[in-house]
Amino acid sequence: MTASTITPRLAPAELAPFIQHTLIGVGITRDRIVAHAREAAEHGFNAAMVPASWLSVVASELAGTGIGVASALDFPTVGVTTSAGKAAEAAEIARLGATQLDIGVQIGWLKSGMFDEFREDIAGVVRASGIPVKVMLELPLLTEAEKEAAIELAMDAGAAYLKNASSGQIETANPASIRYLVERTRKGVLVKASGSITTYPQAVELLDAGASLLGTSAGLSIIADTGDAATASY
């Protein structure tokens, strides 16, 4: 059963298993990251998405809960990390307890026609980490031909999920972008929506469009159906 067939019957709190509860920023304290992990477990979110520097703490907090431990790499400014450095950090992220990983991609390389390098940058992370990798494709920054190439190359590299964008600075997640990805994924490759997801109705629309996961820092507002125009999210 896909998300799009069940969301019309889901109450706000029942969206939690589709939401990756996100807290990534500057100056996050130990107390705050522990509270974030406990929120993920209390509400049954799909995963706690946290900075790599706090992974060991979060993995310990969530041990035995069934809640995923996620982190991000080459983010929030994507495409600035060397491929070797990215692979090494991916291996360390997995060692620290991450069960999944979101990564930025080399948009500049793609636009320069460096397709082999673009693909291998992703593949190196897939090999080094050994955990599901979600790629932030930054669709609004790409031409139609570049979008098609990025999707195919990411799947060739072994990506488990395709993402429309890294954050709301690139795109507010919308059904059109999600459907665009869903229509082009191969069997077994899923889609994660990301970018300023702040309300229950928006979350339902994205799931109905075919997203399997939602990345947001407004998960608590979404499951309480209190999100509005003033609610902020990455």
Residue 8 forms part of a structural domain: no
Q: Using omega within 30 degrees of 0 as the cis cutoff, is the peptide bond preceding 76 cis?
A: yes
Confidence band, pLDDT 50/70/90 cuts, at residue 228 = confident
Residue 184 forms part of a structural domain: yes
* pLDDT at 77 exceeding the cut of 90: no
* pLDDT at 222 exceeding the cut of 50: yes
Alpha-carbon distance 229 to 135, whole Å? 28
Q: For the chain, what is the domain count?
A: 1
For residue 7, what pLDDT is reported? 52
Is 111 buried (19+), middle (13-18) or exposed (0-12) by CB count in 10 A?
Answer: middle
Q: What is the pLDDT of residues 20-76, one digit of tens each?
A: 999 999 999 999 999 999 999 999 999 999 999 999 999 999 999 999 999 999 998
Residue 99 forms part of a structural domain: yes
Residue 92 forms part of a structural domain: yes
The CATH number assigned to the domain holding 81 equals: 3.20.20.70
Where in the sequence numbering do the catalytic residues fall?
Answer: 102, 163, 192
Residue 232 forms part of a structural domain: no
User: What's the predicted TM-score (pTM) here?
Assistant: 0.94
Alpha-carbon distance 47 to 190, whole Å? 16
Structural domain for 23, as ranges: 14-224
For residue 96, what pLDDT is reported? 98
- Amino acid at the residue 9: R
Q: Quickly count: other Cβ atoms within 10 Å of residue 27's Cβ.
A: 5
Confidence band, pLDDT 50/70/90 cuts, at residue 233 = confident
Residue 205 forms part of a structural domain: yes
